[in-house]
């Protein structure tokens, strides 16, 4: 499964002309981000807003958070919007990325076929860990992102908390983004972990129901970070900073607060700029 996971990043690198650690034309901003911000439709709102305000053109590379962080740390993106706090802090400590700022949060949910073969809906206690343990015990199909994305990192942490090393025919790695993984889980009548925003955006296209939600470990926090310009002088430093500043601006935060309300009756993300910690 190793090579397919690299295909989106390699294609993006070729398409954007990222050679020698440089960015694209001066008035463009290369944004490396998680697939959830694209699959949910949030970037379709925020991108044009930023472009109208600044005159920059956003070139989005939507990959797993692990790859998005790597792109930034290697100077192949001007700014990164990601959701894997432990990985983010590692890059921050290494000095490869700087200026980590809180943008928003939503939460992860465990979804699965409505028949619920592992009988995890309505569990009490540490819901996510118990549910994961029960899925493994019953060998019920589970589709993993398997791509070192923020969602995959969270999933692995939940398996660890459950005391399970997932393996076998029941555990399937998609190596794809969140939308494609939801589609695969629906087709295979399987469980998967997803951010709520992407699930709501895909809910009418897949036959999956929420099984577990609201457990504290399922909080999903997004931060914006930038490459260190001292290490990568050829990146669009001003453009990357401008986009990072935009994400925490009152206008962008207001757009995040209302995104999804008209279609789903509730926001898909919750703005957090200026807070010390995101609240569930």
pLDDT bucket at 122, cuts 50 / 70 / 90: confident
The model's pLDDT over 167-185, given as tens digits with 9 standing for 90+, comes to 999 999 999 999 999 999 9
Q: What is the torsion angle, in degrees rounded to the nearest 10, for the CA atoms of residue 143, residue 144, residue 145 and residue 150?
A: 140
Instruction: Express the helix, strand and coil content of the chain in percent, nearest 5 each.
Output: 45, 20, 35
**Lowest-confidence segment of 132-136, 208-212, 263-267 by average pLDDT:** 263-267
**Lowest-confidence segment of 20-29, 75-84, 162-171 by average pLDDT:** 20-29
pLDDT bucket at 21, cuts 50 / 70 / 90: very low
Return d(Cα 183, Cα 137) in angstroms, integer: 24
Counting other chains too, the contacts that 179-182 makes at CB distance below 8 Å and 24 or more residues apart are: 179/35, 179/39, 181/143, 181/144, 181/145, 182/111, 182/206, 182/208
Whose CA is closest to 76, among 230, 234, 242, 243? Answer: 234
The class (CATH top level) of 107-218 is: alpha beta
Return all residues near 73 (Cβ < 8 A) that are at least 6 apart: 91, 94, 96, 97, 227
The model's pLDDT over 22-52, given as tens digits with 9 standing for 90+, comes to 444 558 999 999 988 988 999 999 999 999 9
DSSP 268: S
2-105+222-271 and 107-218 share one fold: yes
Most distant CA atoms of the chain, gap in Å: 54
**Lowest-confidence segment of 58-62, 233-237, 275-279 by average pLDDT:** 275-279
Return d(Cα 222, Cα 154) in angstroms, integer: 13
Return d(Cα 199, Cα 167) in angstroms, integer: 25
Strand partners, 111: 192, 210
Return all residues near 27 (Cβ < 8 A) that are at least 6 apart: 55, 56, 57, 239
Domain coordinates of the chain in residue numbers? 2-105+222-271, 107-218
The model's pLDDT over 211-221, given as tens digits with 9 standing for 90+, comes to 999 888 999 99
CA 215 vs. chain centroid, Å, equals: 18
Mean pLDDT over each residue of the chain, to the nearest integer: 89
CB 22 within 8 A of CB 235: yes
What is the reported pLDDT for 275?
A: 86
What average pLDDT does the segment 216-239 reach? 94
Indicate whether 1 pLDDT > 80: no
Of 3.30.1360.10, 3.40.50.720, 1.20.1370.20, 3.40.190.10, the CATH number of 2-105+222-271 is 3.40.190.10
What average pLDDT does the segment 235-262 reach? 96
CB 34 within 8 A of CB 82: yes
């Amino acid at each position: 499964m190793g090579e397919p996971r690299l295909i989106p990043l390699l294609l993006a690198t070729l398409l954007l002309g990222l050679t020698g650690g440089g960015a694209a034309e001066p008035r463009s901003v290369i944004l490396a981000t998680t697939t959830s911000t694209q699959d949910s439709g949030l970037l379709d709102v925020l991108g044009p807003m930023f472009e109208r305000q600044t005159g920059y053109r956003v070139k989005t590379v939507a990959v797993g958070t692990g790859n998005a962080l790597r792109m930034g740390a290697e100077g192949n993106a001007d700014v990164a919007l990601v959701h894997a706090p432990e990985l983010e802090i590692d890059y921050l400590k290494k000095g490869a990325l700087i200026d980590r700022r809180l943008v928003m949060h939503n939460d992860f949910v465990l979804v699965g076929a409505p028949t619920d073969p592992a009988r995890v809906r309505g569990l009490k206690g540490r819901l996510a860990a118990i549910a994961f343990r029960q899925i493994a015990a019953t060998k019920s199909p589970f589709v993993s992102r398997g791509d070192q994305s923020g969602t995959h990192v969270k999933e692995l942490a939940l398996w660890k908390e459950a005391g399970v090393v997932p393996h076998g025919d029941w555990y399937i790695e998609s190596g794809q983004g969140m939308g494609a993984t939801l589609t695969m889980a629906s087709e295979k009548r399987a469980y998967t972990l997803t951010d709520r925003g992407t699930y709501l955006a895909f809910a009418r296209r897949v036959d999956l129901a929420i099984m577990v939600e609201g457990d504290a470990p399922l909080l999903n926090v997004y931060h914006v970070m930038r490459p260190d310009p001292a290490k990568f002088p050829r990146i669009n430093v001003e453009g990357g900073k401008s986009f990072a500043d935009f994400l925490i601006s009152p206008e962008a935060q207001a757009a995040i607060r209302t995104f999804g309300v008209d279609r789903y009756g509730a926001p898909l993300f919750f703005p957090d700029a200026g807070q010390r910690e995101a609240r569930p």
